């Protein structure tokens, strides 16, 4: 063996080169590790390898098991074929049933998902669909009274304070407390907002009117063309005709609409001068009596025909007057498009109304 640096010959056992003095590199003896107790670089013991005889034993065991399973299966297959066929049919039915149940479950899950999505979508509230509400600034403020309406439907609105009319005058029902009136230029008419707690104490007629009106709105009976509607303007004896009667709500109350002809005396001719739209209602809190009237015309009526038929003028029983009213009522109600303005337009004006105290 020679020195790795100067290549001088070395003796066995030398640890330093006598020529250059450098240490002699010792050969590394590599011992093969035994199977047991040997640790790999990953820190895990190496996997044991199957020896040849162990592999042979495993193969034999597997073959024996396969033969046994085949023999047993063949025995049941050939000796009990009817039971096997029945079992297959039952398995098929079970598979078909599971498929049906799975389809139904999937459909139900889709329906539930659609319902959840529909429930999560924002819905329009009744106040958003119907018109102005108290969340918007009021159109009119009079003291503690706030009034809302659709100013696209009611134009040229002027607010007036009506002075009280005490009882005891020529007309026993024509009294009223101080209240607010909305004079409307288009459509032509007015809306009175009468405080109930100030009106009832003024007389028996006022108390009866409010009770009758509330009963009517709660029960909503049908009204004949010559029937009566509770109103402060004229009592029943002076209501000659009430047609196109309809119950509907405004923003915070309800009332009854009618196309009416009043007869200040015993009878009145039915023409465009006497024909009007009326609405009598109460707020849901009972604080205000809402009384509205608008000018109304119909193409089937004349402007100046104030002359009653002779048979009506000579009638003493009321039968001819009733027949006269029914005849004209049938014409008017059968031709709703002949009204001007249209009843639906005037209804929308009332439906947009809201009256509240602060």
pLDDT grade for 306, boundaries at 50, 70 and 90: confident
Distance of CA 92 to the CA centre of its chain: 48
Range scoring the smallest mean pLDDT among 65-79, 213-227, 313-327: 65-79
Average pLDDT over residues 303-316: 83
Residue 218 scores a pLDDT above 50: yes
Residue 160 scores a pLDDT above 60: yes
pLDDT grade for 113, boundaries at 50, 70 and 90: low
Task: Give the H/E segment covering residue 310.
Answer: helix 310-313
Better-predicted residue by pLDDT, 12 or 175 = 175
Q: What is the pLDDT of residue 76?
A: 47
Tokens standing for 82? 């009817």
Average pLDDT over residues 34-39: 41
Average pLDDT over residues 11-17: 77
Closest C-alpha among 238, 178, 230, 229 to residue 209: 230
Tokens standing for 186? 């288009």
Q: What is the pLDDT of residue 234?
A: 86
What residues are paired with 351 via a beta bridge?
Answer: none
Closest C-alpha among 294, 290, 291, 242 to residue 263: 242
> In the predicted model, what is the mean pLDDT of the chain?
79
Q: Is the pTM of this model over 0.95?
A: no
Average pLDDT over residues 28-34: 44
- For the segment 172-199, what is each residue's pLDDT rounded down to a tens digit? 788 999 999 999 999 999 999 999 999 9
Distance CA 136, CA 132 (A): 7
308: DSSP letter: P
Tokens standing for 289? 């009596």
Cα–Cα distance list, 134 to 125, 174, 282, 320 (Å): 14, 32, 17, 50
Tokens standing for 174? 């024509």
Q: Quick one: three-class SS letters along 17-84?
A: CCCCCCECCCCCCCCCCCCCCCCCCCCCCCCCCCCHHHHHHHHHHHHHHHHHHHHHHHHHHHHCHHHH
Give one DSSP letter per residue of 122-169, joined into a string.
Answer: ----HHHHHS--TTSPPSEEETTEEEE--TTTSEEEEEEEEPPB-S-S
What is the SS3 assignment for 271? coil
Better-predicted residue by pLDDT, 288 or 25 = 288
Average pLDDT over residues 198-215: 95
């Amino acid at each position: 063996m020679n020195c790795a640096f100067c290549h001088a010959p070395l003796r066995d056992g030398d640890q330093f080169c006598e020529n250059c003095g450098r240490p002699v590199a010792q050969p590394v003896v590599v011992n093969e590790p035994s199977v047991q107790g040997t640790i790999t670089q990953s820190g895990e013991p190496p996997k044991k390898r199957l020896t040849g005889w162990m592999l042979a034993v495993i193969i034999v065991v597997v073959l024996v098991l396969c033969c046994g399973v085949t023999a047993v299966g063949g025995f049941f297959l050939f000796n009990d074929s009817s039971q096997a066929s029945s079992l297959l049919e039952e398995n098929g039915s079970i598979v078909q049933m599971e498929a049906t149940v799975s389809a139904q479950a999937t459909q139900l899950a889709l329906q539930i998902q659609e319902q959840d999505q529909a429930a999560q979508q924002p819905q329009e509230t009744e106040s958003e669909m119907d018109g102005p509400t108290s969340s918007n600034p009021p159109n009119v403020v009079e003291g503690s009274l706030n009034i809302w309406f659709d100013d696209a439907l009611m134009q040229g609105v002027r607010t007036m304070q009506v002075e009280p009319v005490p009882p005891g005058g020529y007309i026993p029902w024509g009294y009223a407390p101080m209240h607010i009136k909305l004079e409307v230029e288009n459509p032509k008419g007015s809306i009175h907002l009468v405080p109930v707690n100030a009106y009832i104490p003024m007389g028996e007629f006022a108390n009866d009117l409010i009770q009758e009106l509330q009963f009517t709105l709660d029960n909503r009976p049908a009204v004949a063309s010559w029937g009566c509607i509770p109103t402060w303007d004229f009592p029943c004896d002076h209501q000659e005709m009430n047609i196109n009667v309809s119950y509907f709500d405004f923003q915070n109350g309800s009332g009854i609409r009618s196309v009416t002809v009043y007869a200040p005396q015993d009878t009145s001719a039915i023409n465009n001068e006497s024909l009007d739209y009326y609405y009598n209602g109460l707020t849901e809190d009972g604080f205000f009596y809402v009384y509205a009237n608008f000018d109304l015309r119909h193409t089937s009526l004349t402007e100046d025909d104030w002359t009653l038929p002779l048979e009506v003028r000579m009638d003493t029983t009321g039968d001819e007057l009733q027949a006269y009213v029914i005849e004209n009522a049938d014409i008017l109600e059968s031709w709703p498009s002949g009204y001007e303005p249209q009843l639906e337009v005037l209804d929308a004006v009332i439906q947009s109304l809201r009256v509240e105290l602060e």
